[in-house]
Amino acid sequence: MERAEEVARSLPAVAAAGEPGRVNPALLKALAEAGLLGDIFRRDDTGYAPTSATALCLIREGLARHCTEAETALALQGLGAYPILLAGSAATVEAWIPRIAAGEVAVGFALTEPGAGSDAASLTLAATRDGDAFRLSGEKTFISNAPDAAVYSVFARTSDAGSRGITAFAVPGDTEGLRGTRQTMVSPHPIGRLTFDEVYVPAAAVLGEVDGGWRVAMRTLDMFRPSVGAFAVGMGQAALDAAVAYTADRRAFGRPLREFQAVSHQLADVATRLHAARLLVHDAAAAYDAGGRTGHLSAMAKLFATETAQLAVDVAIQVHGARALEHGHLLEHLYREVRAPRIYEGASEIQREIIARHLYS
């Protein structure tokens, strides 16, 4: 985490130079040159392999404390590429992962649809047979790095068997019939819609097995959900650090704000919750790395960490007062950044449902 923090401190200027709502190629290149993308796409004599969930969490928390744009750029590369890395053929992996790891191209994770968000298994993007190949027709929305990505991990319906009728594909962004538009979000990350009009995808582009795409998606999300919690913890810690520094010096009614119990005890509660969130994140990541049953642990980590980060930022703003709401202030930035993690990769309500089902399993 210390190396990630050191790298993050050098990246705010690179991040600021990018165009809001678009992939920042210079930022991807900087992450690659610093070795952080290489850390999540490890290469040895036998090829590429996933990193550990624990290492991913440490990197994401370290980046989030000092440059959320860099954290998001790294996370979107990982989320979009891991279905390819986990389930792609050797040729597909070799075609894309080296370029992604080098920061040369962006990649997207295309699961969500206008009518299939939290209920992702109800997706309707159709993949119909065309000989040994497929034709994809439909729409995806809130897709990472769209429409700038060079390749997307796309999940489409190949049969009517619910979650057992979904197949994953690696689809190049310049494929004929594939179009994208940008979506303007509260926090201006590269997010967009994709429209598929009879997009031809060869059989070699299938990730894993036909009708086995849901397993690919869940393997990816189970690994990344704890690290969403790590991202949240990093933002929450940045907010707490700012609040502690401010209240240590700011005076009101003749004494520092830190001497008001109504202020210091709020920060004490935030510090306690952040420490608990970090432990939950590390526990879920360790369980994933050990190969255990981790769905409920990942859900607990993401739920508690993202909700805690929202509280941490809100408390930090409250003790700062109106100055924290000025455009460009760190806490104004974090206030916009911290909201989305409670929704994406499974909203808080979905995480509670996962936990509850585990209780009765």
CA distances from 320 to 213, 246, 312 (A): 47, 7, 12
The residues annotated with a catalytic role in the active site are: 345
Q: Which of 92, 101, 105 is nearest to 168 (CA)?
A: 92
Beta-ladder partners of 256: 251
User: For residues 241 and 192, is the Cβ–Cβ distance under 8 A?
Assistant: no
* Cβ neighbour number for residue 211 with a 10 Å cutoff: 16
Sign of dihedral through CA atoms 153, 154, 160, 162? positive
